[in-house]
Amino acid sequence: MNVIEENRRESISTQLFSSANEASLIVAQEIVELIKKNEQKGKKTILGLATGSTPIGVYKELIRFHKKDGISFSSLITFNLDEYYPISHKHPESYYCFMREQLFDHIDVPEEQINIPDGSVDRSKVFEYCKNYENKISELGGLDLQILGIGRTGHIGFNEPGSTVDSRTRLVHLDSLTKKDAARDFLGEENVPRYAITMGIGTILDARKIILLAWGQAKSSVLAGAIEHKPSDSLPASLLQGHSNVQIYADLSAAGELTRIKHPWLVKLMEWNPATIRAAVTWLSQKVQKPVLKLLDEDYSECGLSDLLTQDGPSYDLNIKIFNEVQHTLTGWPGGKPESPDEYRPERATPHPKRALILAPEPLDDVIGMGGTMHRLVDQGHEVTVAYLTSGNLAVPDTDACKAAELIIDLAKQCENGETAESRFAQRSWDELQSKDDFAIDTDNIRRLKGLIRRGEGKMACEVCGLSADRVRFLNLPFYEKGKYRQFMLNNCDIELVVGLLEELRPHQLYITGAQAEPSTVQAVCFDATKRALDNLADADWLKECYLWLYRGSSQEWGIHEIDMAVPLSPTELGNKVQGIYQHQTQRSQAAISDKRTRDIWRQAEDCDRRLGAAYDQLGLAEYEAIEGFKRWCTRA
Ligand code: GLP
């Protein structure tokens, strides 16, 4: 379904979709239509293609059109936007391999009509090579359509901030955030090539039509900047505003920072409801920097909220109403306060104790999102279980696996004076690690060893957060254990494992995350698995009584108005949570974005909880060191 709203602040035409799949199908259809139209005129279609997770859905649909509907792509000539440099075609993370795996090996574009910048060209010839790439596009009459994703720096192709509007195909240096984002694919940031060959912004702008795709909350701020801010080379995607035929397709999570979604009252006449009223009043309080209870009628009318005053005013009444609502989200009793009135509490008083199940896509998601709350639940006597849906083994660097193997081998030598079954396993893993080709897929032994390392980290982190290690479960969902980044595919046995766990534990509270994550991430796939498991259990009586709570993901921040339960943390509790996060030693090099800079994911979690605490304080509520926020989730929304 298309959600068309007031978009007058948007300088690029943007269509919103409830899911990436829906939008991907439309883009694929558009490509097929274009090819057919050109074929009728006896012309070939010149198509610019992108890599990354974003266009994968479009490629899947194109493959489906080819295999199921017999659509031929023989009249298509493709030009890829970019390629890492230096990199060989054989490198599994080269865009060459990516395009083969994701598209070209499955459709009938003739080999000689495929163009991907060559990351292995001799350095002395790169300039010439780039000029020829440009010439080839223009000799063919230019690109009919260019498909784009957007990077978290706002880059298109590999045109990082600072790229100018007239830049052409060239060799560029990669931004540090871009390298951090690519680190998972390359199994460590140190392995990410430092350079890339990319079409320039000028090259892209020469296309007759441009479609930019964006999915997931991680893209929301950069996307809003590209669409609503003045064009600037510090945000390369914003330079698309200078093109007369650009279309952006975004899912609702990626569109979350657009004015029409975030602050709709600024761009349209509102039909106010409790959620939008709360959003508007908390926004106003933050905007004029006054506590909610001090907002005046003038503040409302000067900031475009006079219709809200007319409907629900005066400000005195509105202020009290919203202040109380926000106040009622705060609780030190995330499992409900026993023997206390619970009319205004986010959780019910009974039953007590509750069975609380925390589902974490990977070890670490749980402590980042709710390490403090986990501790409270345990302290307050609830029966807490943490279940890791995947082992997270793909994110363990080889060096950590080597260290663990060494330890086991040495231990056997010292204690047993020789070998044990464990040390033989460790020795095999060690040998396989030593003979592993760069970027080769890990063997089963290595993955098992890496999974065990994360298991240990997960258990230790839970112990630090008050939960005994024997309350930690590992589901090892097959989609992950047998899969690869960007290519995870859920199947029935994944769902059945989640259903099995839910039925066994029948929790009163279920904590989950990943609702707004980019669709190819582990978090999004796990969320999907949980959602499907819950759909299967829709008739279960226990589920009707179960509260579903969403906790935030590692690089996710929620607006105060979105939060239904806010659990304050004292300085000691926050410190303890950070200690819990530190137990995930193998994840030390992960980074998240904060204020446009990269920041250690450990510190980021702390900052984020502190910011939420400060936001409550600013609204005139009590001043806490930090807060963990939760949203109530309704499966049938
Ligand atoms: C890479 C590519 C871009 C792509 C971006 C976003 O940097 N060079 O073309 O748009 O990543 O990647 P993803 O779609 O995985 O978020």
Complete domains list, the chain, with CATH: 13-260 (3.40.50.1360), 263-327 (no CATH), 355-387+454-633 (3.40.50.10320)
CA–CA distance, 632 with 509 (Å, rounded to integer): 10
Cα 492 to ligand 1 centre (Å): 30
Residue 502: HSE in the Cβ half-sphere, 13 Å Cα cutoff: 29
Which residues neighbour 5 within 8 Å (Cβ) at sequence distance 6 or greater?
16, 260, 261, 264, 267, 268
CA–CA distance, 392 with 455 (Å, rounded to integer): 9
**Atom 6 in ligand 1: which residue has the minimum CA distance?**
151
Substitution site in 24, 27, 49, 51 for ligand 1 pocket (most atoms within 8 Å of beta carbon): 51
Q: Are 478 and 529 in contact (CB under 8 A)?
A: no
Q: How far is CA 42 from the centre of its chain?
A: 42
Show the tokens assigned to 365.
Answer: 């998601």
The string of pLDDT tens digits covering residues 93-126 is: 999 999 999 999 999 999 999 999 999 999 999 9
pLDDT number for residue 2 = 42
The answer to whether the CB of 628 is under 6 A from ligand 1 is no
Query: Which amino acid is it at 242?
Result: G
pLDDT number for residue 175 = 86
The answer to whether the CB of 98 is under 6 A from ligand 1 is no
The answer to whether the CB of 158 is under 6 A from ligand 1 is yes
- Asked if the peptide bond before residue 397 counts as cis, ω within 30 degrees of 0, the response is no
Total number of residues shown for the chain: 637
The string of pLDDT tens digits covering residues 59-71 is: 999 999 999 999 9
Cα 156 to ligand 1 centre (Å): 8
What are the residue numbers of the active site? 160
Substitution site in 49, 53, 54 for ligand 1 pocket (most atoms within 8 Å of beta carbon): 54
The pTM of the full predicted model, rounded to 2 decimals, is: 0.91
pLDDT number for residue 426 = 95
The string of pLDDT tens digits covering residues 180-212 is: 888 878 877 788 999 999 999 999 999 999 999
H or E element in which residue 271 lies = none
The string of pLDDT tens digits covering residues 553-580 is: 887 788 899 999 999 999 999 999 999 9
Ranges of the chain with pLDDT below 70? 1-5, 416, 589-601, 635-637
pLDDT number for residue 601 = 67
The answer to whether the CB of 177 is under 6 A from ligand 1 is no
pLDDT number for residue 184 = 77
The string of pLDDT tens digits covering residues 268-298 is: 999 999 999 999 999 999 999 999 999 999 9
Q: Are 288 and 295 in contact (CB under 8 A)?
A: yes
Query: Which amino acid is it at 343?
Result: E
Show the tokens assigned to 567.
Answer: 């659990």
Show the tokens assigned to 91.
Answer: 């490198």
CA–CA distance, 75 with 72 (Å, rounded to integer): 8
Exposed, middle or buried, 56 (CB in 10 Å: 0-12/13-18/19+)? buried
The answer to whether the CB of 157 is under 6 A from ligand 1 is yes
Residue 494: HSE in the Cβ half-sphere, 13 Å Cα cutoff: 24
Q: Which of ligand 1's atoms lies nearest the C-alpha of 150?
A: 10
CA–CA distance, 76 with 114 (Å, rounded to integer): 8
Residue 377: count of CB within 10 angstroms of its CB: 26
**Atom 12 in ligand 1: which residue has the minimum CA distance?**
52
The answer to whether the CB of 151 is under 6 A from ligand 1 is yes
Q: Are 340 and 349 in contact (CB under 8 A)?
A: yes
CA–CA distance, 92 with 158 (Å, rounded to integer): 19
Substitution site in 56, 155, 251, 593 for ligand 1 pocket (most atoms within 8 Å of beta carbon): 155
Distance set, CA 299 to CA 120, 192, 264, 289, 308 (Å)? 60, 50, 18, 11, 12
pLDDT number for residue 590 = 62
Q: Which of ligand 1's atoms lies nearest the C-alpha of 149?
A: 10
CA dihedral of 279, 283, 284, 289, whole degrees rounded to 10? 150
